[in-house]
Amino acid sequence: MAANPLQQLGERGQSVWLDYISRDLVTGGDLAKLIESSNVTGLTSNPTIFQKAIAEGADYDTQIGELLDAGATDLDALFFDLAVSDIQRACDILRPVWERTNGADGFASLEVPPALAHDTEGTVAMAARLWAQVDRPNLMVKIPATPEGIPAIRRSLAAGININVTLIFALSAHADVIGAYIDGLEERRAAGKSLDVHSVASFFVSRVDTAVDPLLEKAGNKDLLGKAAIANAVLAYELFEKEFGGERFAALRAAGAAVQRPLWASTSAKNPAYRDVLYAEALVGPDTVDTMPPATVDAFRDHGIVDGDTVKSDYAGAHATMTALGVAGVDMDTVTADLLAAGVKSFSDSYDQLIAGLAQKVSAMRGSHPARQSFWFAGAESPVVADAMRDGHGAETVRRIWARDADLWKKGDADAAKVIANRLGWLDVLDTMRAAVPRLEALSASLHDDGIADVVLLGMGGSSLCPEVWRTSFGQQKGSPRLHVLDTTDPGAIEAVGKAIKLDKTLFLVASKSGKTIETLSHFAHFKSLYDAAGITSPGRHFIAITDPGSHLADLASQNAFRDTFLNPADIGGRYSALSFFGLVPAACAGINVKTLLDRASAMRVHCAAGMPLDLNAGLFLGTAMGHLHATGRDKVTILAPQQIADFSLWAEQLIAESTGKEGRGIIPIGSEPLGDPSNYGDDRFFVVLRLGDDKDFDARVEALRQGRQPVLTLELSDAYDLAAEFFRWEFATAVAGSMLGIDPFDEPNVQESKDNTAAVLETFTSTGSLPTEQAATDSNGLTSYGGTLASLLDQIRPGDYVATMAYVTPDDATTAALQDLRRSIRDNRHVATTLGFGPRFLHSTGQLHKGGPNTGVFLQITADDTTDVAIPNQKFSFSILKRAQAAGDLASLRSHDRRVISVHITGDVVAGIERLTGLVSTTAGAARS
C-alpha cells in the first residue's frame, strides 16, 4: 500500500507532532492510533489547548474532586496536577517511538506558565519542577523565546532538561535560541555530563502572514500576500543548516549531540483564501518537525502533497521576498516583536481563562458559585478599586498571604512575626476539618440516638458568633436538637436558657480558645451545679469542650469526664475560627451538613488562591475594595443581608473590627443596622450586600442605594450553606485589607485592658462588698447619666464619626427592637453611622476597635437594673455583679483612651427607658437644628 502524505513526510525526515491534548485522547486509544496510522511521533500542548480540554465535559472532574479532597487550593498547582497526568500518559504512549529512535523523537511537551515569560529565575525553577513532576525522559518543557527566556533555556538544557523553545518569530531570536542550545550543551560537555539532551525550536509560521497581509493590503501590494510567513521560515531553516553544519557544533556532534530541530508551529492556514495545507507543504525537510492540530493532520493525510525538500528548495527566493517586503514598507523586526508580545499575551489570556474555568468548575462541583459578585459605583472613587485590581500588587499580596509572610503586615517586626506565625492556621484548617468529618457526623448521630433535644453553646466573641449565624440562618433542622447560644453574663438571659431546656436532654458546648474566658467558665460552673443539684449521674456526659491543646478548659474537661473534647489547631485566632471545630462542632450538633459546609468553603478557598486571575479572586477583590475605599474616606463597611442570614453581619463586624481597629486606624464595620433610605447615609459608606433568593423589597432598597450613588458590592449566595464560603472570603479579605492599612490583623492589643479593668472592679467588690460609684450628671425620669448628657454627647459628633451603643441589658427580642429604633433615630437625625453591641459580648469583638481604632467613635453605654440574678458557684460575685463590673471596666477603658462616652443607667422598665432615650434623640436633634 502506498504511503499516505503524512507517512511521506517521515520519509523526508520530518516528524509530525500533534498540537492537541485531552484526557480522552490519552486514555481512549486515539493517540496510539494516530502514531500507528498517521506518522504522529510527538505531541505538544499549550494553555489554549488545555483550556478547551478541561473546560469541556467532565473528563477531569473525578481527578479534580480527588485533588480537592486531598487539600488542593492553589489553582496553578491544581491545573499542573491535571496536565501532568495527561502528559505522563502521552509520554508513556510515545515511549516506544522514543526508544525506536534512540531518543531522537517521541516527545510530549508541557509549557511553563505564561506569567513566567519575563522571569528567568522563575522559569528555571518551574522547568525543573515540571521535569521532576512528570518524571519521563521523553518530556520536553516549553519555554518562550523572550529575552528573559533565552538564559532560562540555556540553564535548563545545561541541567539536562529537554526543551521545546516556543514563540519564535524573528530570525534574530532563532539565532539566540540556537546559541543558547549550543551554550547549554558545551556547558554539559565541560562538566563531563551526557549530551543526550534534546530540543526543538518552535518557529511560528501562519501568524506572520496574519500580521503582514493587512499591511500589504493597506499599501496596495497584493503580489506579496501570503509569502512573508513561508519566506521567514525558510530563512530560519537556512540559519539552522548554517549553524549546525558549522565548525562550532561539529565538536558537539562528534561527542554525540543531536541538532536542535526547527519545529514549524502554527502551520494551519488562518486565511480561508489560502490552501489549508499551504504552510505544511512548503516547509518539508530533514531534521524538522511540523506540529499540527487534529484538523490539519486530517487535511494533510487527505490531500497534502509532499514534493521533495521544499523548505530548502529556494533560499534565494526567500531572501528576495524579504527584501521586497522591506521595500513595501513592512518592518519585519517590528512585526515579529509585536507577534512575540501578542503570542505571550494570547497564551497568558488563555491561561487566565483556563484558571477561571477551573475555578468555576470547582465551584460547581462543590455546589456553589462563590465568585458571583458585582460592584457598582458611579462616584469619583470608582476607578480606585478597578485600578488596584489591575496592578501587580494584588497578585503579590495573595502570594505572600499563602506564603505566610509576616512582613506583608509588619515588615521587620520580629515580635509581630511571632504572633502572626501562630495565627494563620485558618488558611488550611479546612483540610484538618475534612479529615474530622466522620467524627463530627458520628457526634451528630450519637445525639440523635441519646435523645438530645437542646444544645447550648457557652462561649464569647469568636467562639459564639459563628454558631449564632448557624442558629439563626438554618433554624432547627428536622430531627435534630435546637441550638442555643449563650454569650452573655446577663442573668435574665442565663435564666431564660435554663427554663427553655431539660437538663437530661441537653448537651452543653463549652467553647474557649484560651480556656480561661471568665464568662464561659462561669457558665459552665453554673450549669454543672444544676446537674449536681438535680442528682443527675455522670453530668460530664452532658458537656463537650472546644478549646486549644493544653488549655485550662482541656484539663477541666478531663477532670469532669466530659463527653468529648475537640482540640482545635492552636494557630487560629478566635475570630478566624468559624471553619474550625469552634464553628463546625455546633453545626454538626444542630444537624447541619458539615461536609457541605466544607465543600462550599473549599470552593471559596480556591477562589482566593494564588494563581487565580485577579479579577476573579473573591477575597482579594473584597479586601482591596475595603482597603482602597477606606483610604478615600469610605471607612464604614456596611454589611446588608436579608433577614434569614442577617446575623452574618455581626460575625463580619467582629472580624473586621477586632482585626483592623488598632494603632489609631481601622475599618469601621456596621452590622445589623436597619436599612434606610439613601438620604440617611453620608459619603463615608461602602455597602456590601449578601443577596440570597428573591427578596423584592430588599433588592429594591439596595437598588435605591445604587441610584443614590453609593458604592455597592453585591455577593450572591445560592443558599445558607454558602455562608461557609463567605466566612473564608471575609477572613481572606480582612487579611488583605490589614496589609493595606499596615496593621497586624491577627493581634488584639486592647482587648486585655477591659478584662484587667473588670478584674480590678471585681477585686474591689470582693474586698468591700460594693462596686465603685461616681457622681451622676443627670437623674431624671428613670434615666441616670454619668459623664455627661445624651444631648452633650450627640453634640460632639463630627463628620465621619460613628455612634456605638453598648447595651449591658438582657438581649431579648423586645429590647433588641427598641435598641434598633434608637440607633435608627440617631442615624437619621444626626446622619451618622451607628453600631449596636450587647455587653459583654462586644468586648470580645468590636471592643478592640473602640479603644484601639481611630478616635471617631461616640459611645453610649446603657446599663439597667436586673430583675433577677444568678449565682456563680465558688465566686463571691454573681452574674449580675460580673456584668456590672464589665460595664464599669469598659467605661474606664474608653475614658483612658479619651473617647467621647457617657453611661446611662435605666431604672425600671428597660424597653420604656430605651424609648425615652429615642425620644431625647429627636428632641436634641430638633434643638440642634434650631
Q: Which residues are catalytic?
A: 142
Q: In the sheet that 543-547 helps form, which strands lie side by side, from edge to edge?
A: 482-486, 454-458, 506-511, 543-547, 564-567
Say if residue 47 is preceded by a cis peptide, omega within 30 of 0.
no
Relative orientation angle of helices 332-365 and 206-219, to the nearest 10 degrees: 130
Gap between the Cα atoms of 235 and 251, Å rounded? 25
Q: How far lies 337's CA from each of 170, 318, 334, in Å? A: 7, 20, 5
The cell numbers describing 219, all together, are 499599501
User: Residue-wise over 158-185: b if at least 16 C-beta within 10 A, else e?
Assistant: bbbbbbbbbbbbbbebbebbbebbbbbb
Pure H helices in 366-428: 382-390, 393-402, 414-421
Pair 146, 170: CB distance under 8 Å: no
Gap between the Cα atoms of 189 and 192, Å rounded? 5
CA torsion sign for 67, 70, 75, 79 is negative
Gap between the Cα atoms of 695 and 615, Å rounded? 28
Q: In the sheet that 668-671 helps form, which strands lie side by side, from edge to edge?
A: 373-376, 712-717, 685-692, 636-640, 668-671
Dihedrals phi, psi of 841, to nearest 5 degrees: -55, -45
Gap between the Cα atoms of 431 and 5, Å rounded? 54
Under 8 Å CB-to-CB from 450, ≥6 apart: which residues? none
Under 8 Å CB-to-CB from 417, ≥6 apart: which residues? 406, 407, 410
Helix (H, G, I), strand (E, B) or coil at 800: coil
DSSP state of 268: S
Query: Shortest CA distance to 741 belongs to which of 667, 657, 809, 673?
Result: 667
Q: Which residue has the cell 485522547?
A: 25
Gap between the Cα atoms of 826 and 824, Å rounded? 5
> 700: buried, middle or exposed (CB in 10 Å: 19+, 13-18, 0-12)?
exposed
The cell numbers describing 144, all together, are 518562550
For the chain, give the longest Cα–Cα distance: 112
